Structure 1
Amino acid sequence: MALAGAGILLAAGLLFTYADYHTLMDSDTHWYKGIFKQLGSIARIGFFAAAAVYPVFLLLKWKKLKKAEWGSFKPGKVLQVLRKWHTPIALVSAALVLLHGTLAILRGFTLDFTYMTGMLGVILLGFLTIMGFKRFKRNDRKLHFKLAIVFILVFMIHATFA
């Protein structure tokens, strides 16, 4: 379901970009940059939310907490619900990053630090997404985690110096 939602978001954004291409190209540069920077900022918040779920994964491994009960409150059940939000948040954020990159490149590509870190981030995000699907099948868990750390570093460098 999360993959379908991210795919629909990406398809709608690309369709909007294709349909309004001339309007976007003729628009004020300041307004245009504001649009694609907002997409990047929303994606950044989403990736931090997805990364914040990682401690929940660690807490789920703690058997005492899984079995704990405080009255009718069961923290293990709450943690399981929170864990399920990692993938949808990450996929929607990835779709926003692809829209952000598409809009940035459509206006004009230059070989500067911002574009290079952005392209590196998108490449890492592609590998991270693939490893995330493999991780869902219990393969390559450590590689997904390491790629996530490298991606967050690259994307923070990109966001800081953009």
Structure 2
Amino acid sequence: MNTRAIKVQKQGWIPKKERIWVIVAIIIAAAIMLWELRGLLQLSLTTLHSKQFEHTFKDFGSNARIALFFVLAYYVLLRVMKLRYLKGQAKVKKWLSTLLRFARRWHTPVAILAIAFIILHTVAVFMHGFKFDFNNISGLLSLIVLLPVPISGLFRYQRMDRKWHLRSGVAFAILFLIHSFL
């Protein structure tokens, strides 16, 4: 066993420098979910089927969309950094690398918060009434594809995912964009 594998084994599932922010994000996401679910469960049936409630679950989806655009920005910045025509642009590359470090640091905590808003959005849609139309089916498909993303993200920390985190994340991003904008 080489030293890299030994180091990966000793560090635990989440690297120490990211662990505190991941734990804080989990606590905040759990608090938001508990608070909002408690509020959703106290609503009357007439409120659940009103147009006003439709704005409520769309707000959960909008919050998730904003967070997911930030999460996906990490991959976009990685791709932009590899572009050939940036070879002579030292200032641009320095600025992009600063943005990339920021996006990398907050990628996982913001993704955890986005998943919390996605769960709230899903619960609220089912409370409102699930209809078999294109929008709901595309949302359900993107939710199903989202399920392996955080699990493969944990394996990504251990370098055991074989690019499944990226592949399932891209599949989710495509389905998410279809659900959000069509």
Equivalent residue, structure 2, for 1:16 = 36
* CA–CA distance in structure 2, aligned partners of residues 108 and 29 of structure 1: 11
Consecutive unaligned residues of structure 2, counting only runs of 5 or more, are: 1-20, 83-89
| Change beyond 3 A, Cα 1:74–1:50 | closer
Equivalent residue, structure 2, for 1:64 = none
Equivalent residue, structure 2, for 1:150 = 171
Quick check: 1:33 aligned with 2:54?
A: yes
What secondary structure is seen at the aligned counterpart in 2 of 1:53? helix
| Change beyond 3 A, Cα 1:127–1:91 | same
Q: 1:85, CA displacement in angstroms?
A: 1.0
Q: 1:21, CA displacement in angstroms?
A: 2.1
* CA–CA distance in structure 2, aligned partners of residues 81 and 8 of structure 1: 20
Paired residue total: 154
RMSD over aligned CA atoms reads 3.0
Q: 1:141, CA displacement in angstroms?
A: 4.7
How much identity, in percent, do the aligned residues show? 29
Equivalent residue, structure 2, for 1:103 = 124
Amino acid of the residue matched to residue 16 of structure 1? E
| Change beyond 3 A, Cα 1:5–1:48 | same
Quick check: 1:130 aligned with 2:151?
A: yes
| Change beyond 3 A, Cα 1:93–1:19 | closer
Q: 1:78, CA displacement in angstroms?
A: 6.4
